[in-house]
């Protein structure tokens, strides 16, 4: 939002002195807009095809493409729901992602607070250790992670998907940087004078200060968890526990895939709510991506 406003005002200020080149600029401008519209179409058309095909019958789809919706939406839905309940996948994904986001936000704030405020032995080494492990990609420990959960009896539960979110090195790192520039020691001292315990101080003083940064990171955490495919694919095996991405892969091999219309509908159901949510939050999300990338 900010970016846009700045650009606009700058543009208006500077544009006036140059009137000579106007006609040439105009053609270039048209070309630019055409390019932008083409890119817009490319970005959107697969979704349009998906929605159209979701309303057409298998036979219609096999015989050709059309820009006009068909009339088989309800049949397609019935066929799909007979084999796979997408809504359950939705609920599961939402549950996992919300838990992950909350846990990751809260415990990362807690850890960042511990690192930023207290001076204890081994602090720097622990922090460094965390940073090194941050570089390790998720796949590295996958086999061991699977065996660990087999041993713990937590396969086919949400525990391996949710609990590890307590330890999100990247979020801790980000929040610690944020905290060291925003949290004044005097605030803590004042609270201690009032007799507040350390945990209370964290909750009443530090956490509110960190909230904007936590919110920024939460967006990434949520999207990351929502899209996570490999770990739930390996960890979960009861279809009624599948998250949406796993359910999508499942759809490919199931009998729904025999009917293209239903398959398209299944995909559409997994996609459209996200698109609607994005309509409301797009500015917020995009500004956060902008902010996140610059601060790093």
Partner 1 sequence: MKNINYKGYYFIAPFFIVFLIFNVYPVFLTFYYTFTQYEGYGKPTFIGLDNYARIITDTYFLEAFMNTWKIWGFNFILQLGIALLLAALFSDLRFRIKGLGFFRAVFYLPNLITVSSVALLFGIMLDWQYGSINQLLLNIGIISEPIHWLNQPFTAQLSVSLILTWMWFGFTFIVIMAGVSGISKDYYEAALMDGANSRQTFTKITMPLLKPILLYVLITSLIGGLQLFELPMLMSKNGLGEPEGSLNTMVLYLYNQAFRYNNYGYAATIAYALFLITVIFSAVTFKSMYRDAKVMKNRGE
Partner 2 sequence: MKKFFIVCISITLMSVFAAGCSSDSESSSGKDVLKIWSFTDELEKYGAVEKFEEEHGIEVELTIVPIADYPTKLRPALESGVGAPDVFTGEVAFIKQWTERDYWENLSAEPYNVDEWEDDYVPYVFDLGKDPEGNVKALSWQTTPGGIFYRRSIANEVLGTDDPEQVGEMFSTWEGLFEAGEKLKQAGYRLFADEGAIRWFARGVDSQPWVNENDELIMTDAKVSYFEQAKILRENDYTAFAPEWSPSWFASMDGPIAYNGGWEDVNEESKDKTEVFAYPLPTWGLHSVLKENAEATVGDWGLATGPNPYFWGGTWLGVYKDSKKKDLAFEFVKMMTHDEEFLTNWANETGDVLSFLPVTDKIQDTVSEDFLSGQNNYKFFLEQAKAIDANAVTKYDQEIDTLLGTHVQEYVDGKKSKEEAVQDFYKAVKNAYPNIKTP
Which of 197, 201, 200 has the alpha carbon at shortest distance from 186?
Answer: 201
Contact flag: residue 275 with partner 2 (CB under 8 A): no
Q: How far apart are CA 250 and CA 13, in angstroms?
A: 56
Residues 208 to 227 in contact with partner 1, rule: CB under 8 A: 223, 226-227
Contact flag: residue 290 with partner 1 (CB under 8 A): yes
47 is written with which tokens?
Answer: 């979704």
Question: Read out DSSP for 200-238?
Answer: HHIIIIIHHHHHHHHHHHHHHHHHHHHH--HHHHHH---
Residues 72 to 91 in contact with partner 1, rule: CB under 8 A: none
Shortest distance (Å) from residue 170 CB to partner 1? 11
Site string for partner 1, 238-267 (x = CB under 8 A): ------xxx-xx-xx-------x--xx--x
Cβ closest to partner 2, residue 98 vs residue 130: 98
Shortest distance (Å) from residue 63 CB to partner 2? 5
Contact flag: residue 271 with partner 1 (CB under 8 A): yes
Contact flag: residue 230 with partner 1 (CB under 8 A): yes
Q: How far apart are CA 109 and CA 176, in angstroms?
A: 8
Q: How far apart are CA 264 and CA 196, in angstroms?
A: 57
Cβ closest to partner 1, residue 182 vs residue 287: 287
Shortest distance (Å) from residue 200 CB to partner 2? 23
Contact flag: residue 239 with partner 2 (CB under 8 A): yes
Q: How far apart are CA 167 and CA 210, in angstroms?
A: 18
| Residue entry with tokens 């090195």 | 169
**Of these partners, partner 1, partner 2, none, which one is at the site of residue 107 (CB under 5 to 8 Å by kind)?**
partner 1
Q: How far apart are CA 251 and CA 256, in angstroms?
A: 6
Q: Give yes or no for a contact between 271 and 50, defined as CB atoms under 8 angstroms apart.
A: yes
Contact flag: residue 58 with partner 2 (CB under 8 A): yes
**Of these partners, partner 2, partner 1, none, which one is at the site of residue 28 (CB under 5 to 8 Å by kind)?**
partner 1
Contact flag: residue 175 with partner 1 (CB under 8 A): no
Q: How far apart are CA 137 and CA 256, in angstroms?
A: 34
Contact flag: residue 258 with partner 2 (CB under 8 A): yes
Shortest distance (Å) from residue 225 CB to partner 2? 13
Q: How far apart are CA 4 and CA 253, in angstroms?
A: 46
With contacts defined by CB under 8 A, name the span among 59-67, 118-126, 268-276, 287-295 that binds partner 2.
59-67
Q: How far apart are CA 40 and CA 34, in angstroms?
A: 10
Which of 210, 238, 177, 16 has the alpha carbon at shortest distance from 104?
Answer: 210
Interface residues toward partner 2, by CB under 8 A: 58-59, 61-64, 83, 88, 91, 94-95, 98, 146, 150, 153-157, 237-240, 249-250, 253-255, 257-260, 280-281, 284
């Amino acid at each position: 939002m900010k970016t846009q406003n700045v650009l606009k005002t700058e543009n208006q200020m500077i544009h006036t002195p140059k009137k000579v080149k106007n006609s040439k600029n105009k053609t270039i401008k048209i070309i630019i807009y055409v390019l932008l519209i083409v890119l817009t179409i490319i970005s959107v058309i697969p979704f349009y095809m998906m929605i159209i095909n979701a309303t057409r019958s298998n036979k219609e789809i096999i015989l050709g493409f059309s820009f006009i919706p068909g009339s088989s939406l309800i049949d397609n839905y019935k066929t799909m729901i007979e084999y796979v309940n997408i809504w359950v996948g939705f609920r599961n994904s939402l549950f996992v992602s919300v838990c992950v986001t909350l846990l990751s936000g809260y415990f990362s704030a807690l850890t960042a607070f511990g690192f930023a405020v207290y001076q204890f032995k081994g602090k720097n080494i622990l922090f460094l250790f965390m940073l090194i492990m941050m570089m390790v990609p998720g796949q590295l420990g996958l086999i061991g992670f699977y065996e660990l959960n087999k041993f713990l009896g937590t396969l086919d539960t949400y525990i391996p998907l949710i609990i590890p979110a307590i330890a999100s090195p990247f979020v801790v790192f980000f929040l610690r940087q944020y905290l060291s520039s925003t949290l004044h020691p005097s605030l803590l001292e004042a609270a201690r004078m009032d007799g507040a315990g350390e945990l209370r101080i964290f909750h009443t003083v530090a956490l509110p200060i960190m909230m904007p940064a936590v919110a920024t990171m939460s967006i990434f955490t949520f999207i990351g968890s929502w899209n996570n495919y490999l770990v739930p694919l390996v960890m979960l095996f009861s279809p009624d526990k599948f998250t949406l991405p796993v359910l999508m892969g499942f759809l490919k091999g199931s009998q729904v895939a025999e009917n293209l219309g239903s398959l398209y509908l299944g995909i559409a159901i997994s996609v459209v709510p996200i698109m609607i949510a994005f309509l409301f939050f797009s500015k917020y999300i995009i500004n956060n991506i902008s902010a996140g990338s610059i601060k790093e």
